[in-house]
Amino acid sequence: MRRASSKKGPANSTTSSNSSAMDLFRSASGKAATKELERIDQLYYTYANESSGMIDPEGIEYLCSDLEVEHTDVRILMLAWKMQAEKQGYFTLEEWRRGLKALRSDTIIKLKKALPDLENEVRRPSNYVEFYSYAFRYCLTEEKQKSIDIESICELLELVLGSQFHLQVDLFIQYLRTQIDYKVINMDQWMGFYRFCHEISFPDFNNYDEELAWPLILDNFVEWVRSKQS
């Protein structure tokens, strides 16, 4: 009896061709990724301090100049958030790589063009509460520090929340600069004000219930506002 002809040869040939094509694709992708990382690193060392090997406040000033934004621009804080930078005013190489790879930016031109998309990403409700929390932690400059002085908090509020809740932020800043009971703000109070802006009707505060778990400073703030309104 004649054996059925085998088709293993052509099949193996096709498989081998597909495998070769995939290997070439992976090789090209790997080389492209390596080149991208090299450019990201090269850009990093354009701004890094030679002695520390980190981008320090002076380097960030130069970076802002090349991006044509002020160093106080909220998008620089957003960039730090994207990098998950741990120390205020400093970027490490690992943080820089993390942020710029995510933004697909290996040149200053690409990074500048990526800023509007980054801002849109941060402004999404699912991301913004994380960014708002990060902004507080980023400003904790000392080891074991858990609170921030009132003046710095006022500046930070204006930066990260002023464009969304301008009236609430302005009034809260007035209160903070007037009152004498609090010299610092902690994370619970910081996050409480974010929730306050989203949940409480303004300027009447009709749905504000002091019996709920609001930070005491917000009870005092509402009382202060109502006394001004009466």
pLDDT tens-digit map of 44-103: 999 999 999 999 999 999 999 999 999 999 999 999 999 999 999 999 999 999 999 999
Amino acid letter for position 208: Y
Share of the chain above pLDDT 70, in %: 87
From the candidate CATH numbers 3.50.50.60, 3.40.50.261, 3.40.50.150, 1.10.238.10, the one assigned to the domain spanning 29-123: 1.10.238.10
Which pTM was predicted?
0.83
In tens, the pLDDT along 174-197 reads 999 999 999 999 999 999 999 999
- How high is the pLDDT of residue 33? 77
Per-residue pLDDT band for 1 (boundaries 50, 70, 90) equals very low
CA distance linking residue 221 with residue 84, whole number of Å: 32
The CATH class given to the 126-229 domain equals: mainly alpha
What end-to-end distance do the CA atoms of the chain give, in Å? Answer: 107
What residue ranges do the domains of the chain occupy? 29-123, 126-229
Exposure letters 157-167 (e unless 16+ CB within 10 A, then b): bbbbbbeebee
92 compared with 212, residue with greater pLDDT: 92
What is the mean pLDDT of the segment spanning 165-182? 97
Query: Is the preceding peptide bond at 215 cis, omega within 30 degrees of 0?
Result: no
